[in-house]
Structure 1
Amino acid sequence: MFLTIDDFDFEGKTVALRVDINSPMDVNNHTILDDTRIRACISTIKELSNNGAKVVILAHQSRPGKKDFTPLCAHAQKLSESLDSEVYYVDDLFGSHAINSVKRMADGEILLLENVRFYSEEVLKDWNNWEGTSCPKKQGKTIMIKQLHSLFDYFINDAFAAAHRAQPSLVGFAYYMPVIAGRIMEREIKTLDKIIKNPDKPSIFILGGAKADDSIEVIKNVLKNNSGDRVLTTGIVANIFLIAKGYDLGPNKDVIRHMGYLNQIEIAKDLLETYGDKIETPIDVALNIEGQREEMELTLEKRIIYPIHDIGTETIAYYSDIIRESKTIVANGPAGVFENKNFLKGTAEILYAMTKSKAFTVIGGGHLSAVAGIVGVSNDINHISTGGGACIEFLAGKKLPVIEILKNSYRKYKDGDFNE
């Protein structure tokens, strides 16, 4: 259980709204190249403003040391365009300019403070070691939170894409006031929770991409808890399972070694021993031979000597049949090197099969959501997660700091306890 916007009357209240509008930037002229995340949070901002709240937005862009680590003036402009209403940008975070700007706000006004990661305490490595504590006292005692918290009646967290982080701007306000889920956060938690706890059956997970260790954690969790009936592997994940089955993938094993995933082969062997009938691997693959796509059937006797860049046509047909019979489909990670049009086929065909099915379909954000846009099926997927890393950790059964704080805040609010 967690608090939502529906639980409160915001008229005349000042709310801190944490969003994730971290966007691809043109570093030469500091313009935003893709405003998807900005558009995603518009409904929450508009609802709060229309209900008479003074909306103070907290957000980040990139991280220290990166070329796209910029102020948020361009983000304020994009927000204003999407809302068709002015979003006031304040190039300060918790100094007198920021504090006085918040105090002068009228009901319904929207203000964006400066990039929270400009402040050193926000990016301390300390926050990487989340202790699972229900009351984030350390974060609440940082200077930024101590300076700002008294200005706000409520803290609303709509930054699902950062839900796996425990930085002060994400969890620190919970030490002082109720934490409420924004509309993105609410939708993400409810959707992913149903997938794990009560999916319509049969339920399948299609897992690929380059982050093999995360995907294998998901496989462990969904098969152990019976959330998934079958797992279809693609990409580096599939290669790891193929090697675990005894296939000689030649130079493709060197890629796995270079990525630091050799240890995942033993984990894959254990999973195959326990859940072998539920884990599907490719029947054939598409090789990159001097830039051309050449498909090859997999056999234990034949060694692969070229890079595997996609699943093959037979695998696409086999996986599509399984997809067609499923009622819940969760896909994360592309099936191949989609950036090369010769190897887009596997990823595209899986997405097409998902849209043709009658199942409830989910994409776990990241590169696969980008491909869905490229091939024009984004609007035909039931749910595209806004948070790649947060989504995969949720599906892997890990406790996400922001979500744990939301649950605890619900309990504290019911007990009337938001003091030290």
Structure 2
Amino acid sequence: MSLQFYTIDDFDMHDKTVLVRVDINSPVDPNSETILDDTRIRLHAGTIDEISKKGAKTVILAHQSRPGKKDFTTLEEHAKALSNILNRPVNYIDDIFGSAARTTIKKMEKGDILLLENVRFYSEEILKREAQLQAETHMVQKLSPLADYFINDAFAAAHRSQPSLVGFAVTLPSGAGRVMENELNSLCSAVDNVKKPCVYVLGGVKVDDSIMVIENVLRNGSADYILTTGLVANIFLWASGINIRKYNKEFIKERNYCDFVKKGKQLLKEFKGKIKMPIDVAVCINDKRDEYSVKNIPNMPIFDIGTDTITEYAQFIRDAKTIFANGPAGVFEKEGFNIGTDDILNAIASSDGYSIIGGGHLAAAASHMGLSLGINHISSGGGASINLLAGEKLPVVEILQEVASKGIK
């Protein structure tokens, strides 16, 4: 999986205006609007700092949540957090491409850093269209004339085709920031140099992404075994004929995932013995953990994999030379139901194999447990990384490659 794209190293940014798209979408308390975890802000701080220290006028584009969510808010607190991390002023303006934002950008001096307002406050930002059409949006048309370069560091959003992510690459010389560069190089290298046996541990509630990955890696022969956890496991248990009971079936139906049960049946038949499912599960009874064999699941919510399953899965992980993992094993935020996720992460961190885990909940859990150093690569974007591993084209990566292939500098 060879990718060619420009990076920060390919541009002379001294005294130039550089638009930098980052993904600093963070957990925010909906009442106080306090940022609860600044991990993503710290992640992108390096790229921002480097560009600024090259003497550029750094204009940051970013989003926080999406319309309708309780944490859909301004980026004022993000600017304060970034300023504290960089130990230098980061200006913020509650405008994206209006006259106030454009005037502020024009007045910037070398080394200045400005964070514009949440780009998703702009209605066209949430529309999915090809890059050429996104380049025609007001945001891109208004800001492009003020900038010399566009640097995209938002790997976690690389699977989305939105104006701030792909539009500017059409109108400006563009390249990848350090986070984007590191993610693409690490993931592509891992995919190109898979050592066998290779095991995928897939859980969480984003069943569609996981099914896509399972089908791709088994079909192309890159994976030897798939260990299912979370809602992904429940889908396959149901597909295999296990009675997961009405409560858990209704949960799947409510999310319109029944088609994936049919797909699961097909995959289990086609790849016999390759897709591993839990042999026991932990259900929530009276707010407490209670374990049952999958042959005797009660009509209660399945919140985790059981200890026998953990033991079995840990052996597969220990024997593996390459491990990819994405999604928690259960409702790990709830006391007593974090066991599966914690033990799987411990097995991965103590394994001799090369390990990659997706972003989001699993990355947060690994960090919280202090296991980050035992894992070779922790991706900043679960959705983007899993799409890349599934062989899907990422719109942001596609346009960056297109720019490089045309030699646009």
Moved more, 370-379 or 31-40: 370-379
| Mapping 1:222-233, distance limit 5 Å | 222-233=217-228
- In structure 2, the residue corresponding to 1:171 is in which secondary structure? helix
Q: Secondary structure at the match of 1:28?
A: coil
**Counterpart AA for 1:289:** I
Aligned twin of 1:410? 404
What's the CA shift for 1:27?
2.8
The structure 2 residue matched to 1:60, chosen from 54, 63, 66, is: 63
> Does the CA-based 8 Å contact 1:178-1:413 persist in structure 2?
no
Q: Distance in 1 between matches of 2:35 and 2:337?
A: 29
1:363 aligns to 2:366 (yes or no):
no
Distance of 1:392 and 1:95 partners within structure 2: 36
Kept after mapping to 2: 8 A contact 1:15/1:53: yes
How far has the Cα of 1:345 moved from its partner? 1.0
Name the stretch that deviates more: 308-317 or 21-30.
Answer: 21-30
Residue 263, structure 1, aligned to residue 266, structure 2: no
Instruction: Find the partner of 2:162 among 155, 160, 167.
Output: 167
Structure 1 residue 222, shift from structure 2 partner: 1.1
> 1: distance between equivalents of 2:67 and 2:282?
39
1:254 aligns with 2:257: no
1:42 aligns with 2:38: no
Q: Is the 8 A contact 2:17 2:57 kept in 1?
A: yes
Q: Pick the aligned partner of 1:94 from 89, 97, 100.
A: 97
3-state secondary structure, aligned to 1:45: helix
Q: Confirm or deny that 1:346 pairs with 2:349.
A: no
Q: Any conservation in 1 of the 2:244–2:294 contact (CA below 8 Å)? A: no
User: In 2, distance between residues paired with 1:303 and 1:90?
Assistant: 54
Q: Note the C-alpha offset of 1:304.
A: 4.2
User: Partner letter of residue 250 of structure 1?
Assistant: R
Q: 1:254 to 1:95 in 2, by over 3 A?
A: closer
Q: State the distance in 2 between where 1:307 and 1:64 align.
A: 30
- Give the structure 2 partner of residue 29 of structure 1: 32
SS in 2 for 1:362: strand
Q: 1:93 to 1:28 in 2, by over 3 A?
A: same
Distance in 2 (CA, whole Å) between partners of 1:47 and 1:119 is: 28
* 1:272 aligns with one of 242, 252, 268: 268
Q: CA RMSD in A?
A: 1.8
Between the aligned partners of 1:98 and 1:233, the Cα distance in structure 2 is: 48
Whole-angstrom distance in 2 between the partners of 1:390 and 1:270: 26
**1:391 is aligned to 2:385:** yes
Task: Give me the whole-angstrom Cα distance separating, in 2, the residues matched to 1:351 and 1:109.
Answer: 41
User: Deviations for 1:318-353, whole angstroms, at most 9, x for unmatched residues?
Assistant: 111111111211111111221222221111100001
User: Residue in 1 aligned with 2:215?
Assistant: 220
Residue in structure 1 matched with residue 75 of structure 2 by the alignment: 72
The one-letter code of the counterpart of 2:345 is: L
Q: Hey, what does 1:382 align to over in structure 2?
A: 376
Calculate the TM-score normalised by the size of structure 1. 0.91
Task: Give the match's secondary structure for 2:336.
Answer: helix
Change (3 A) 1:244 1:157: same
User: Structure 1 146/395 Cα, relative in aligned 2: closer, same or farther at 3 Å?
Assistant: same
Q: Does 1:18 align with 2:21?
A: yes
Q: Deviations over 1:105-129 (max 9, x none)?
A: 2222211122222223223x3x2xx
Is the contact between residue 324 and residue 353 of structure 1 (CA under 8 Å) also seen in structure 2? yes
Paired with 2:402 and 2:57, the residues of 1 have a C-alpha distance of 25
Of 259, 268, 289 in structure 1, the residue corresponding to residue 285 of structure 2 is 289
Residues 202, 138 of structure 1: alpha-carbon distance in 2 compared, 3 angstrom cutoff:
same
Q: Distance in 2 between matches of 1:66 and 1:254?
A: 24
Percent of paired sites with the same residue: 55
The letter for the 2-side match of 1:378 is: S
Contact map agreement 1:57 1:111 (CA 8 A) in 2: yes
Q: Which amino acid aligns with 1:408?
A: E
Once residues 169 and 291 of structure 2 are traced to their aligned partners in structure 1, the CA distance between those partners, rounded to angstroms, is: 54
Residue 97 of structure 1, CA deviation: 2.5
Shift of 1:196: 3.1
SS in 2 for 1:94: coil
Which residue does the alignment assign to 1:154? 149
Q: Which residue of 1 aligns with 2:318?
A: 324
Displacement of 1:191: 2.1
One-letter amino acid of the structure 2 residue matched with residue 181 of structure 1: A
SS of residue in 1 equivalent to 2:356: strand
Aligned-pair CA distance for 1:393 = 2.2
Structure 2 counterpart of 1:99, one-letter code: R
Structure 1 residues 396-405 or 24-33, which shifts more? Answer: 24-33
Q: How does 1:110-129 map to 2 (within 5 A)?
A: 110-123=113-126, 125=127, 127=128
Output the CA distance in 2 between the equivalents of 1:53 and 1:312: 54
Candidates 178, 181, 184, aligned match of 1:186: 181
Distance change >3 Å, CA 221–CA 48, structure 1 → 2: same
Q: Distance in 2 between matches of 1:120 and 1:308?
A: 38
Q: Contact 1:195–1:227 (CA<8 Å) still a contact in 2?
A: no
Q: Which sections of structure 1, spanning at least 5 residues, go unmatched?
A: none
Length-normalised TM-score, structure 2 = 0.94
Contact 1:198–1:227 (CA under 8 A) maintained in structure 2:
no
* Counterpart-to-counterpart distance in 1, 2:148 and 2:226: 45
Residue 80 of structure 1: how far off its partner (Å): 0.6
CA distance in structure 1 between the aligned counterparts of 2:30 and 2:255, rounded to whole angstroms = 28
Q: Distance in 2 between matches of 1:234 and 1:71?
A: 36
1:284–1:182 CA distance, 2 compared to 1 (3 A): same
